[in-house]
Structure 1
Amino acid sequence: MLNCNWAQALTRYDCRTVTGLNGETGLEIGTPFSLPDGSAISLYMMPAGSHILLSDNGDTLFHLGSMGLDVWQAMRFKALRETASLRKMIIGEKGDLRMLAQQEHAAHAFAEAVTTILAISDWAAQQLKTEAKERDIIAEAEPYIIARDPKAAFKLRPRVRGESQAEHTFDILHGKDLIDVIAPHPAATGGVMRKVGDVTNGPYNEHLSPLIIVDDRTEPNKAHNEIGIIASISRVQSFTSLMSVMH
């Protein structure tokens, strides 16, 4: 049976129980993201035999249509289907974005569903010629980080004292990993390297290990350069590699 306690192994986003058309209990997960019109992005999880159905309940295409975007126009609908298929989602007969997942893969499937809707939101903003929203790369990485080990301890903005006695804040603590998610810019690289060096050399890290994730989705060449620099002092990986691993 799905419940919000179980969902805590998938996401730390807001959760509430809902009832399906056949009386089954499911979950509504509210994310911190929104569509171009400001409508909140939510995902629904319902039992489907031995699998879990993840769906947006048709909300995404409905809201885009209400903004004046004809999502059923042939070329646009083709683009939507192709975007959804990149993360193994489909568009159902009622316009809902959906995917089936085995329960042991639900955490990664949830992360993929969030990524799909964000990609469609970005596409819609381009079609509507609206100003692009600033990306929250930490929030986007969060469900993929949790999916690495859904049972591991999780905390946002953990603080650790370094050798200099200064306290440093990381984006996420997951298990024993102190994680920062950064854009591929030299200033960000310099900042995390100073922080990692101070924490790694200090006696207060409680056997925690820094891990830096560099967003390479829009500027892969710049990200590759920054990853090479950071690798001299810390564990580091690209955002796309984080997304691609099924645990």
Structure 2
Amino acid sequence: MNCEALIRNLGFRCREVRSASRRGPVYALDTPFHFPDGEAFTLYAVPHAPQVVELSDNGDTLMHLMGLGFPLDDRRRWRGLRDLCEKLHLSLEERGDVRTQLYSDDLASGIEQFGYFMHAVCEWEVEHRGLTDHDHVFIDEVEVHLRAWKPDLTITRDISAYGASGSPRKFDFLHGDTLVDAVRPSSQKTGAELRKVLDVANGDDERPILVIMDDRSDAQRAREETAILATVARVMQMSALIRHAPVVSAIRSH
């Protein structure tokens, strides 16, 4: 056993790779970090000016999430990822790569930043991986009714709030000053929502939280899940939201 073998056994490996966009060397650093499905996370180090190096994920994080079906092809949906990067002093570029520049002597701190980044991304992925096409349609429906209910309030999609854990917690909307999530009734989603709401409630974010529960296909199940969530947040049934938005209801009934 020696230092080189020890580093290799910890999961770090470095190899030079070719880049079509630059003439100089690019080094791929295989790390021990993995996404929840086992896909490895690789960092790319690009030397710039003397003693300056750029670390980048080469867009792999965004491509990984999109490959799982997350609707991130629209840059307007990158807000949560961008907020996380800013908190960790990383930048999310227009091409979708996460990067930072630092002096060579600070390389260890840069790798540490990406370690925190990977941990937060993996938590977010596990929390949201169960979303189906029906969930995304429901979220879009909730947005339409929220706009009709209170048209003077601004709505922003995909907002992050930071809880006591320090990890970003994504909400579907910011409606005025209220964090809003659209939830379809299931024990798995209720459990995830409980953890999220409690984390944010125990942090420094004082914005109110509203959960819209879809009660249209299984009213009894929706009532059961609502009773649990109502202990920590305000919950509104989707049928009630529709009644609050008569213009939308009238249009959809024709």
| Normalised TM-score (structure 2) | 0.44
**Larger Rg: 1 or 2?**
2
| TM-score, scaled relative to structure 1 | 0.45
Q: Which has the higher contact order (CA 8 A, sep 6+)?
A: 1
Higher-helix-fraction structure = 2
